[in-house]
């Protein structure tokens, strides 16, 4: 319902109220109902063309990556595994510990900025080609087309009364949808639980309760979102769709209908001289509306429902070719180009996003390169602040050593910062296996004469024996009697 | 644009939207909590030693989701009324 129609109805209501209060009440009820437009199911028509090809390629590639990555191996383990139970994320050669979480935060910020950058440059590329909602919806539409047939066949089937044939076709479609959704749910969970083990547990009907819950949860989400919600998700629920217009300006590449060239629209014979008939290039075949997955008419101008899938470009180009008109009545262009102005690709917005991205990438690269795969934590003994042993002051600590590297290391521990500080470790050999944590109790002794304060700072220094560059230091406090 | 969306979305759609947005915020909250705390430690505090880590993550996430959903639902209950109904 358009805003215009609503206003008209409200005016009528006002008149009615003056004449007859009972009828006015009835009208009121009608209006409050008619404000909610029941969703009309959209049957997008299949498209062929350059952009459809690009889209299908992107969709197949992304689905392929999503389903295949959990099965990749790296050093005898799953290459990409967000191992929540072990609190470690494996991304190929990189192992991310909770301590390294800022790297992930950085990656997320980079991903968001990349999205902004490409949106400013070329509109909703993400929505049209790469968003999981688009990818899975397209897959579901593909299944629907295979089972139910073309757009017209689907519409006829939905309008027809229930018959065994209809039940059979619908049941087949939903079964395939459900199997596809279940496999998607399994693939998603296998990023968090080793894929092969999970598959084995499911095939032997013995999955863990939470694993089963999440597989079914994500399967249901896929089935509901991609099978049923489809474009409604983009229109009503997607947060990005609501604020993407903030990244748009007159130089952003978007899908436009060339109104100057197309209007006034109207049907005509292929061989007639449409200019002399007073027609523009648009033959009003409404194919652009029929192919639109969100059910809009691109000829009404850029609308926020448009996810930039470019199906209307492909289908309109086909029509233009058949009519022997130049292609591009609907095309990727900018507001500026359409108004006859110059399009500026390099503009402050692009520079700012680009520069920020560059800085973040450089910093991430640098800090990953400089990352020392040792973690050290110092925990003071809580029972006693200090004790006196052989005329010296003794403090007790537990050192937690994390080996975040991919191989076993032996370490040397030192303490510096207070003169004549002596360190006692109960074990001679501090060895930590790859990816493990060692709790090491240590005692430190110092002469009371060397302590000038109640609490003196010093440093623990941990060095790998096989590699001098693997060094970490940690500042700690040494407590003694008040002087 | 926002008016257009609101005027067209049905009650079911509004509920699904609330579920979805609270799902997102609960997810963000869970990430934040679990970067700082091990679920094992959290459940030890409540003497629930037999909850696995996966279970711990799930329970805390679902708890957050319930909270964020309650907040969303209450907000709509308090604010989202039909102006035309009550204006007269």
Q: What is the C-alpha separation between A328 and A257, in angstroms, rounded?
A: 8
Chain B residues closer than 8 Å to A229 by CB? 16
Could you tell me the pLDDT band of residue A246, with boundaries at 50, 70 and 90? confident
How far apart are the CA of A8 and the nearest CA of chain B, in angstroms?
15
Q: Which of A35, A84, A239 lies nearest to residue B7, judging by beta carbons?
A: A35
Read off the pLDDT of each residue in A315-343 and give the average, rounded to a whole number.
91
Read off the pLDDT of each residue in A204-215 and give the average, rounded to a whole number.
89
Read off the pLDDT of each residue in A100-129 and give the average, rounded to a whole number.
88
Q: Considering only alpha carbons, which residue of chain A is nearest residue B15?
A: A237
The tens digit of pLDDT for each residue in A126-169 reads 999 999 999 999 999 999 999 999 999 999 999 999 999 999 99
Q: What is the C-alpha separation between A271 and A248, in angstroms, rounded?
A: 40
Asked if A293 contacts A311 with a C-beta cutoff of 8 angstroms, the reply is yes
Q: What is the C-alpha separation between A84 and A65, in angstroms, rounded?
A: 21
How far apart are the CA of A267 and the nearest CA of chain B, in angstroms?
31
Number of H helices, E strands in chain A: 17, 16
What is the model's pLDDT at position A10?
Answer: 40
Could you tell me the pLDDT band of residue B17, with boundaries at 50, 70 and 90? confident
- Percent of chain A clearing pLDDT 70 (strictly above): 92
Instruction: Check B52 against A101: CB less than 8 A apart.
Output: no
Question: Which of B2, B11, B12, B20 should one mutate to test binding to chain A, selecting the residue with the greatest count of A CBs within 10 A?
Answer: B20
Q: What is the C-alpha separation between B80 and A238, in angstroms, rounded?
A: 20
Kindly state the DSSP code that residue A100 receives in the 8-state scheme: G
B49 inside 8 A of chain A by CB? no
Asked if A331 contacts A310 with a C-beta cutoff of 8 angstroms, the reply is no
B44 inside 8 A of chain A by CB? no
Read off the pLDDT of each residue in A193-216 and give the average, rounded to a whole number.
90
What is the model's pLDDT at position A359?
Answer: 94
Whether the pLDDT of residue A4 is over 70: the answer is no
B80, with CB counted inside 10 A (0-12, 13-18, 19+), is exposed
Q: What is the C-alpha separation between B12 and A116, in angstroms, rounded?
A: 31
Q: What is the C-alpha separation between A58 and A138, in angstroms, rounded?
A: 11
What is the model's pLDDT at position A356?
Answer: 94
Read off the pLDDT of each residue in B41-55 and give the average, rounded to a whole number.
81
Residue among A417, A408, A407, A404 nearest A372 (CA):
A404
| More reliable by pLDDT, A3 or B41 | B41
Read off the pLDDT of each residue in A15-27 and give the average, rounded to a whole number.
43
| More reliable by pLDDT, A303 or A59 | A59
Whether the pLDDT of residue A207 is over 70: the answer is yes
In this structure, the number of other CB atoms found within 10 A of the CB of residue A255 comes to 23
Q: Which residue has the tokens 């749910």?
A: A185
What is the model's pLDDT at position A57?
Answer: 94
Instruction: Check A210 against B38: CB less than 8 A apart.
Output: no
What is the model's pLDDT at position A8?
Answer: 39
**pTM reported for the whole predicted model:** 0.80
Whether the pLDDT of residue A14 is over 60: the answer is no
What is the model's pLDDT at position A30?
Answer: 46
Chain B residues closer than 8 Å to A210 by CB? 52, 54-55, 58
B17 inside 8 A of chain A by CB? yes
| More reliable by pLDDT, A88 or A147 | A147
Tokens describing residue A228: 């049923």
3-state secondary structure at position B51:
coil
Average pLDDT, chain A: 86
How far apart are the CA of B13 and the nearest CA of chain A, in angstroms?
8
Chain B residues closer than 8 Å to A31 by CB? 84
| More reliable by pLDDT, A381 or A184 | A184
Asked if A357 contacts A117 with a C-beta cutoff of 8 angstroms, the reply is yes
Q: What is the C-alpha separation between A388 and A63, in angstroms, rounded?
A: 66
Read off the pLDDT of each residue in A442-458 and give the average, rounded to a whole number.
87
Asked if A405 contacts A462 with a C-beta cutoff of 8 angstroms, the reply is no
Q: What is the C-alpha separation between A451 and A466, in angstroms, rounded?
A: 34
What is the model's pLDDT at position A102?
Answer: 82
In this structure, the number of other CB atoms found within 10 A of the CB of residue A442 comes to 19
| More reliable by pLDDT, B57 or A434 | B57
What is the model's pLDDT at position A374?
Answer: 87
Q: How far is CA A427 from CA A137, A192, A302, A439, in A?
A: 60, 37, 71, 11
Instruction: Check B8 against A37: CB less than 8 A apart.
Output: yes
Q: How far is CA A428 from CA A9, A107, A168, A376, in A?
A: 88, 41, 74, 18
Beta bridge partners of A255: A332
Q: Considering only alpha carbons, which residue of chain A is nearest residue B22?
A: A237
Asked if B16 contacts B24 with a C-beta cutoff of 8 angstroms, the reply is no
3-state secondary structure at position A372:
coil
What is the model's pLDDT at position A16?
Answer: 39
Whether the pLDDT of residue B10 is over 80: the answer is no
Could you tell me the pLDDT band of residue A21, with boundaries at 50, 70 and 90? very low
Whether the pLDDT of residue A450 is over 50: the answer is yes
B50 inside 8 A of chain A by CB? no
Q: Considering only alpha carbons, which residue of chain A is nearest residue B21?
A: A237
How far apart are the CA of A73 and the nearest CA of chain B, in angstroms?
23
Q: Considering only alpha carbons, which residue of chain A is nearest residue B37?
A: A98
Could you tell me the pLDDT band of residue A38, with boundaries at 50, 70 and 90? low
Q: Which residue has the tokens 């996003």?
A: A353
Q: How far is CA A474 from CA A90, A121, A378, A400, A446, in A?
A: 26, 46, 7, 11, 18
> What single string gives the DSSP state of each residue in A303-367?
-TT-----HHHHHHHHHHHHTTPPS-SEEEE-HHHHTT----SS-HHHHHHHHHHHHHHHHHHHH
How far apart are the CA of A326 and the nearest CA of chain B, in angstroms?
34
What is the model's pLDDT at position B6?
Answer: 65
Cβ contacts from A onto B, under 8 A: 59
What is the model's pLDDT at position B7?
Answer: 65
The tens digit of pLDDT for each residue in A49-78 reads 899 999 999 999 999 999 999 999 988 889
Read off the pLDDT of each residue in A346-356 and give the average, rounded to a whole number.
90
Q: Considering only alpha carbons, which residue of chain B is nearest residue A302?
A: B1
Q: What is the C-alpha separation between A304 and A288, in angstroms, rounded?
A: 16
In this structure, the number of other CB atoms found within 10 A of the CB of residue A193 comes to 26
| More reliable by pLDDT, A317 or A93 | A317
The tens digit of pLDDT for each residue in A265-296 reads 888 888 888 888 888 899 999 999 999 998 89
Q: What is the C-alpha separation between A439 and A401, in angstroms, rounded?
A: 7
Chain A residues closer than 8 Å to B35 by CB? 98, 101
Tokens describing residue A458: 């010093």
Beta bridge partners of A409: A432
Q: Which of A211, A214, A236 lies nearest to residue B13, judging by beta carbons?
A: A236
Read off the pLDDT of each residue in B60-84 and give the average, rounded to a whole number.
85
Whether the pLDDT of residue B85 is over 80: the answer is no
How far apart are the CA of A30 and the nearest CA of chain B, in angstroms?
13
Read off the pLDDT of each residue in A3-12 and give the average, rounded to a whole number.
40
Beta bridge partners of A394: A387, A445
């Amino acid at each position: 319902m358009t805003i215009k129609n609503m206003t008209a109805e409200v005016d009528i209501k006002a008149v009615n109220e003056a004449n007859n209060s009972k009828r006015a009440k009835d009208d009121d009820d009608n209006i409050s109902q008619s404000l909610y437009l029941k969703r009309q199911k959209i049957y997008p028509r299949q498209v062929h063309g350059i952009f459809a090809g690009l889209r299908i390629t992107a969709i197949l590639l992304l689905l392929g990556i999503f389903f295949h990555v959990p099965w990749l191996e790296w050093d005898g383990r799953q290459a990409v595994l967000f191992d929540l139970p072990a609190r470690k994320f494996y991304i190929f050669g990189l192992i991310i510990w909770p301590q390294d979480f800022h790297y992930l935060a950085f990656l997320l910020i980079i991903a968001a900025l990349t999205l902004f950058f490409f949106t400013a440059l070329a509109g909703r590329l993400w929505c049209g080609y790469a968003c999981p909602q688009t990818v899975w919806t397209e897959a579901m539409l593909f299944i629907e087309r295979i089972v139910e047939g073309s757009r017209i066949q689907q519409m006829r089937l939905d309008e027809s009364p229930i018959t065994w044939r209809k039940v059979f076709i619908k049941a087949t479609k939903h079964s395939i949808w459900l199997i596809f959704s279940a496999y998607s749910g399994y693939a998603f969970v296998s990023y968090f639980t080793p894929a092969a083990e999970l598959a084995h547990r499911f095939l032997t009907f013995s999955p863990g309760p939470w694993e089963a819950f999440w597989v079914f949860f994500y399967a249901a989400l896929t089935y509901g979102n991609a099978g049923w919600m489809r474009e409604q998700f983009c229109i009503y629920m997607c947060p990005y769709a609501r604020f993407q217009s903030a990244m748009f300006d007159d130089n952003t590449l978007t899908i436009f209908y060339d109104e100057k060239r197309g209007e006034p629209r109207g049907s005509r014979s292929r061989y007639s001289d449409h200019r002399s008939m007073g027609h523009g290039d648009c033959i009003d075949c409404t194919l652009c509306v029929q192919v639109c997955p969100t059910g809009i008419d691109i000829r009404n101008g850029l609308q926020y429902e448009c996810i930039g899938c470019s199906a209307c470009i492909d289908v309109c180009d086909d029509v233009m070719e058949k009519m022997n008109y130049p292609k591009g009545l609907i095309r990727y262009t900018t507001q500026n180009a359409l108004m006859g102005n110059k399009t500026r690709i390099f503009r402050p917005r692009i520079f700012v996003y680009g520069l920020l991205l560059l800085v973040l990438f450089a910093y991430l690269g640098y800090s990953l390169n400089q990352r020392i795969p040792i973690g050290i934590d110092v925990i003071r003994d809580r029972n006693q602040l200090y004790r006196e042993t052989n005329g010296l002051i003794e403090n007790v600590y537990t050192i937690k050593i994390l080996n975040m590297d991919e191989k076993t290391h032996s370490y040397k521990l030192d303490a510096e910062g207070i003169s004549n500080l002596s360190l006692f470790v109960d074990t001679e050999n501090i060895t930590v296996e790859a990816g493990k944590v060692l709790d090491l109790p240590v005692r430190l002794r110092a002469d009371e004469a060397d302590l000038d304060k109640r609490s003196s700072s010093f440093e623990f220094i941990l060095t790998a024996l096989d590699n001098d560059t693997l060094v970490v230091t940690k500042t700690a406090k040494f407590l003694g009697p008040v002087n | 644009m926002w008016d257009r969306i609101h005027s067209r979305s049905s009650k079911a759609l509004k509920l699904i939207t609330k579920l979805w947005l609270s799902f997102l915020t609960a997810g963000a909250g869970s990430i934040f909590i679990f970067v700082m705390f091990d679920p094992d430690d959290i459940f030890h505090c409540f003497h629930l030693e037999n909850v696995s880590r996966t279970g711990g993550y799930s329970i805390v996430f679902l708890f957050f989701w319930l909270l964020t959903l309650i907040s969303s639902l209450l907000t709509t209950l308090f604010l989202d009324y039909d102006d035309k109904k009550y204006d007269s």
